Amino acid sequence: MSIIRTAPLARQRSPGFIGTLVGARSPLEKHQAIWGYIFLLPWLLGLLIFTIGPIIASAYFSLMEYDVLSPPKFIGLENYVRAFTADKQFWPSLWRTLDYSLQVVPLGIISSLLLAMLLNQGYKGTSFFRTMFFLPSLTPAVALALVWTWLLHPQLGPINLALGWVGIQGPGWLADKLWALRSLVLMALWAGVGGNQMLIFLAGLQGVPRELMEAAEIDGAGPWARFRHVTIPMISPTLLFNLILGIIGALKVFTLAFVATNGGPSFSTWFYALHIYNQAFNYFRMGYASALAWIFVLILMVFTYIQLVLSRRWVYYGGDTN
């Protein structure tokens, strides 16, 4: 009987979201709630003005023919049809972006994991090397592109000069359409391998129970067997997290190509995000650029969904009994 009598009282004591704002039980609580929302207001305004607003506007303009100078004209899905059928750079830029991602993501994941495993051994000077590995990721993307443009200069760059000293003819790097994409991959790996991915992997490795590793070693498992059957399953959620963020980051590559090559030579680094930028700000096709952006959003959503579905087969979560 006591449970039946107290349940309605418990429901009455919860003011809820609106009650917290306007129906607090005391003047002090009401005062605190009002000031809480006042301090929250700048973030809410920023979210509405700089995030939700542009998203809604881009969806609207994607159905319009809009060049900024003249009023928008409704054309329905023509921008989307044009992207798939009439844009000569749509498919090449998309495949080029996928090619870049297929190189950067696996190499970045493997290299970051190896560095994290090295730093997880507890060797002397680990803190120093962790700092050295992380520093390149703090370099602004524009500065990174400018420095590497100088390093990879075909005639005056230090890298080709050093190769010449040992009798090797260096390639054209960013000036050669066969090497430009690979050069951007090299730049991205130099900046990203020791960055956030490495730190996230390091945190995941430090969460692997030592008892499991010791038990596997007692059972006769070697280093590779322990890594494959203990380490990888235990850090699989971390691996999935880095994989999703890595693919998204690689697909939206823009700054390196924009500063270092501007899409050249011969469109060899004309990525999808750069294609959107040029359509919007060089050709002033805002409506068409908005449609390209929404296509890109759908592509990212599909890739992420596929990864989450496939992750059910190989990602292990602690306490999962399935």
**pTM, whole model, 2 decimals?**
0.86
- If asked whether residues 47 and 115 sit together in one domain, one would say no
- If asked whether residues 177 and 30 sit together in one domain, one would say no
Count how many domains the chain has.
2
Residue 1 within any structural domain of the chain? no
Picking from 80, 106, 136, the residue at the C-terminal end of a domain is 80
Picking from 31, 65, 80, the residue at the C-terminal end of a domain is 80
Q: H-helix or E-strand containing 239?
A: helix 236-251
Predicted local confidence at residue 19, as pLDDT? 52
Picking from 80, 109, 124, the residue at the C-terminal end of a domain is 80
Average pLDDT, the chain: 89
pLDDT in tens, 44-65: 999 999 999 999 999 999 999 9
CA-to-CA distance for 261 and 192, rounded, in angstroms? 20
Predicted local confidence at residue 22, as pLDDT? 52
- If asked whether residues 209 and 99 sit together in one domain, one would say yes
- If asked whether residues 73 and 173 sit together in one domain, one would say no
Domain hosting residue 137, numbered range: 85-311
Greater pLDDT, 131 or 295: 295
- If asked whether residues 247 and 128 sit together in one domain, one would say yes
pLDDT in tens, 5-34: 444 444 444 455 445 455 546 888 888 888
Q: Assign 242 a pLDDT band (cuts: 50, 70, 90).
A: very high
pLDDT in tens, 138-186: 999 999 999 999 999 999 999 999 999 999 999 999 999 999 999 999 9
- If asked whether residues 217 and 235 sit together in one domain, one would say yes
pLDDT in tens, 249-273: 999 999 999 999 999 999 999 999 9
